[in-house]
Chain A
Amino acid sequence: MLGGFDFDVIARSWRYLFLDGMAFTLRLTVFAMAGGVVFGTLLAMMRLSSFKPLAWISGAYVNVLRSIPLVLVIFWFYFLVPYIGAWAIGSDTPVRVGAFASSLITFVLFEACYYCEIMRAGIQSIPRGQVWAGYAMGLNYWQTMGLIVLPQAFRNMLPVLLTQTIVLFQDVSLVYVLSITDFVGAASKVAERDGRLVEMYTFVAVVYFAACLLLSHQVRRLQAKIAIVR
């Protein structure tokens, strides 16, 4: 079964696979996580706002984006971002946006919905009394959130946020539909060029499996560590 397995194709192309492909995937994952957590936290604060229209807008945004496939969202933003860019700088023609910027915007806006739900649970897990105590001491909303609620919410939700980031790491592979050279994209280009589909896709699967298994084990250890401290 593995007799005809051509390991050489991996040896020949590993620089391209990792230095081009995996580098893109990791960069996109890290930046999208950072942007997604920030925007998601803002969405969560909006959703929990006592000002109803704000809560409603955030809720609608999150629920709509969570109801449609990521592939469709990727297509949406791929075509939408040039128009938004044109609108932002007041240009008449759609702005040309690079592959990385376009997919980064997509993943920040999309994953923010999932981070939002996590952060919402995190914020709600903090006893209300702490918020009242903050107000009683004369802190305003942003100070109460920034100094009391959010640090604890982040800490409690860190394992869940990281688990979602592992999902994001896997989701990034879907930029393949835009022919972008991420890890899967790079592998598929080599696979098509050399006619080595079996080797390349098996290799990609093994790499993802090992990486995600390792990461989720680390997250589980972190979870145990945090659980003991509390």
Chain B
Amino acid sequence: MHYHWNWRIFWQPSPDGQGTYLDTLLIGLGWTLAVALSAWVIALVLGMLVGVARTTPLRWLARLGDWYVELFRNIPLLVQMFLWYFVVPELVPTALGDWMKQIPPPWGAFLPAVVCLGTFTSARVAEQVRAGINSLPRGQGMAGTALGLTLPQTYRYVLLPMALRIVVPPLGSEFLNIIKNSAVALTINVVELTARARAMQEYSFQVFEAFTAATLIYLLVNLVVVLLMRFIERKVAVPGFVGSATATGGH
């Protein structure tokens, strides 16, 4: 087995005209983070709404939330990418569909990727939020009702301030997941980090250098997120609550 190592490849110009190979990988990292962070906003907003809906005493709303989660959990992320990218523009009214198909690259792939990843992760966030709310003693919600608070007030002033602090550690791991899952966007031509490592391999034939670099970058991002989450967790930990202070968000 003779493999010709050439670590200096990173400083050679890349044929995609975006500087050296290292530059194109770093631009890829930028896209990875852009997709992950934008999708995270969608995931948090939708996930919290659905998670709360699944704990309400309104049966139909809870059922609706359950089906939302089942829908996004039981279809592979790759297939969901294809649905948002290929199928949705065909199913919406023609004018809107044509507009979607004419969004110039790279945004034409970026937007469906973000929406897909956001909704996919929102189902998982909803699951965590629901678990967080359900982990509170039932008496807290009842106490809210006994005090004459309406249902929205009970959530706003009693349940959510506690539940949202409890779910911070699991949400941290979901954030790590969304960064990893953003690599699936390469199937609809979002040229993020993994796609660029793959392109570098195709142009330069330095397979293992390219993938090593991508792996190290992912590990570094992971480390930064874990440290950041540890800091946030310490800030929001509920004093005296078991597990909230010691749990780490990462692996």
Contacts and interface: CB of A to CB of B under 8 A. Distances in A.
A170 interface: yes
A48 to B, nearest CB: 16
A176 B78 contact: yes
Interface size of B as a range: 35 or more
A94 B79 CA distance: 33
A171 interface: yes
A148 interface: no
Contact of A198 (B76, B90, B194): B90
Contacts of A67: 176, 180, 218-219, 222, 251
Contacts, number: 111
A213 B74 contact: yes
Contact of A184 (B78, B91, B208, B222): B78
Given A69-B180, A79-B211, A184-B79, A94 B219 contact: no
A154 B80 CA distance: 33
A13 interface: no
B157 to A, nearest CB: 34
Interface stretch (A14-22, A38-46, A70-78, A222-230): A70-78
Nearest to B180: A69
Contacts of A204: 79, 82
Interface in A180-198: 184, 188, 197-198
B77 interface: yes
Given A71-B194, A72-B183, A79-B207, A174 B74 contact: no
B208 to A, nearest CB: 7
A212 B74 contact: yes
Nearest to B217: A68
A64 B74 CA distance: 27
B78 A173 contact: yes
Contacts of B74: 208-209, 212-213, 216
B75 A209 contact: yes
A202 interface: yes
Interface of A is mostly: helix
Interface stretch (A85-93, A97-105, A129-137): A85-93
Interface of B is mostly: helix
A83 interface: yes
Contacts of A176: 78, 187
A201 B87 contact: yes
A17 to B, nearest CB: 13
B83 interface: yes
Given A69-B180, A72-B194, A184-B76, A87 B187 contact: no
A117 to B, nearest CB: 8
Interface string A136-177: 000000000000000000000000000000000011011011
Contact of B2 (A79, A92, A184, A213): A92
Given A72-B211, A79-B211, A201-B86, 15 more contacts: A62-B251, A66-B251, A69-B181, A69-B194, A70-B183, A71-B186, A75-B211, A173-B78, A174-B76, A174-B78, A197-B82, A198-B91, A201-B87, A212-B75, A213-B74
19 contacts: A62-B251, A67-B176, A69-B182, A69-B184, A72-B215, A75-B197, A75-B201, A79-B201, A80-B208, A170-B76, A176-B78, A176-B187, A177-B187, A197-B86, A197-B87, A201-B87, A204-B79, A205-B75, A209-B71
